[in-house]
Homo-oligomer: A and B are copies of this chain.
């Protein structure tokens, strides 16, 4: 993309309403614009990151054998009356009345609707196991929306639902989700720690929240420092292998790691003192096993191999897709701007032309752009008629991991400058080498 033809409205001023870094930087980098309280338009740059995050979530869900579909944003109130949650949910549920006076609501989650779909079609244990998921906009009418996309009202969430014949099968689905989530967050450059949590309005005794450590996190967390040494890495997983998935769960959840809702001071004190950590965390996902809570309420049963009609065991599993942008920025920025991990960057690299209008530098930049594009990468070429300082400031603010700087002096020596946004380190290399290095960096991402 050539910046002269793009829409990237960066702001020079820091918006007064933004209290945390991610909110400030998303506004300043022209990623989002508030449409009304807690509701945002995703400007082109922000939208690109949102789509990349969505794509990673999708790929990892499909890899785990889960099936994508899509439920609508507006739901009938009837199903929520059937489950008993219509009145329980309180003022965070946005209630709507249509022109015929029917009670509807903007879905804050989808246990009822997915269970209705399941009970309409699935009658036999032979059709199990089944895990369906979707990525859809949700609404929670927060009394005080704040922190930008971190606590918005209209937000994008991946929510998945497993249907299983037995508790053991459902716990395997739970473990599968834990594994898939670990992979998902790591691909985004995040360390998200599974912590024992509370079921809240979804319900269920088995539940883990995934938290990214950050000073601006909304939750106080308590953990054994050994948990931060764990990484999933590039190990191979067979999602049908019950023992293997259980092994990953055991490895990642056996050490103490809890949110304040489930914190147990006595247990915590048993950790050697030098490993005890109290910090703050941003919740980026949660998995639940809640047994037959919804299948009982809504009559979601199957016939088992003994011809008995039994309720299915269920769980639900969510990732806060739009809020992840905020979490990633909180975890990865400096005083100049955002530092995108390669997995979610909106463009793979930036090209800065130091002398726009000069035939040689323009030509070299165009060649670089073409070479990167041919290699399947998406560069952002700053071809505006601006000073070098302004171009560097924009690139630093929007946080592309790599920048190639092209100027007349370097070209005379046959080199361009390749700069890491994270370290600030630069090397002078030929244009061909710069392309080859960028291609290599993104090979497995």
1/0 contact string of A26-59 vs chain B (CB within 8 Å): 0000100101110111111011001000000000
In this assembly, does A117 line the interface, its C-beta being within 8 Å of a C-beta of chain B? yes
Chain B residues with Cβ under 8 A from A43's Cβ?
69, 117
Contact A35 B75 (CB under 8 A): yes
Contact B141 A71 (CB under 8 A): no
Chain B residues with Cβ under 8 A from A33's Cβ?
117, 120
A interface size (C-beta, 8 A): 53
In this assembly, does A74 line the interface, its C-beta being within 8 Å of a C-beta of chain B? yes
With A41-B113, A41-B117 in contact, do A35 and B65 touch (Cβ < 8 Å)? no
Chain B residues with Cβ under 8 A from A137's Cβ?
72-73, 137
Contact among B36, B67, B92, B104 with A76 in the assembled complex (CB-CB below 8 Å):
B36
Contact A9 B113 (CB under 8 A): no
Chain B residues with Cβ under 8 A from A116's Cβ?
35
Contact A41 B69 (CB under 8 A): yes
Contact B104 A99 (CB under 8 A): no
A 118-139 contacts with B by CB, 8 A: 120-122, 130, 132, 134, 137, 139
In this assembly, does A70 line the interface, its C-beta being within 8 Å of a C-beta of chain B? yes
Contact A96 B99 (CB under 8 A): no
Contact among B72, B92, B153 with A35 in the assembled complex (CB-CB below 8 Å):
B72
Chain B residues with Cβ under 8 A from A5's Cβ?
65
Contact A98 B94 (CB under 8 A): yes
With A99-B91, A141-B99 in contact, do A106 and B68 touch (Cβ < 8 Å)? no
In this assembly, does A143 line the interface, its C-beta being within 8 Å of a C-beta of chain B? yes
Chain B residues with Cβ under 8 A from A139's Cβ?
74
In this assembly, does A6 line the interface, its C-beta being within 8 Å of a C-beta of chain B? yes
With A36-B75, A75-B35, A104-B36 in contact, do A70 and B98 touch (Cβ < 8 Å)? no
Measured between C-beta atoms, what is the minimum distance from A32 to chain B in Å?
10
Contact A74 B39 (CB under 8 A): yes
Contact among B6, B74, B134 with A67 in the assembled complex (CB-CB below 8 Å):
B6
With A6-B67, A47-B68, A99-B91 in contact, do A73 and B154 touch (Cβ < 8 Å)? yes
Starting from the known contacts A41-B69, A44-B68, A46-B69, 8 additional A-B residue pairs (CB-CB under 8 Å) come to A7-B67, A7-B132, A9-B120, A33-B117, A36-B102, A39-B74, A47-B134, A74-B106
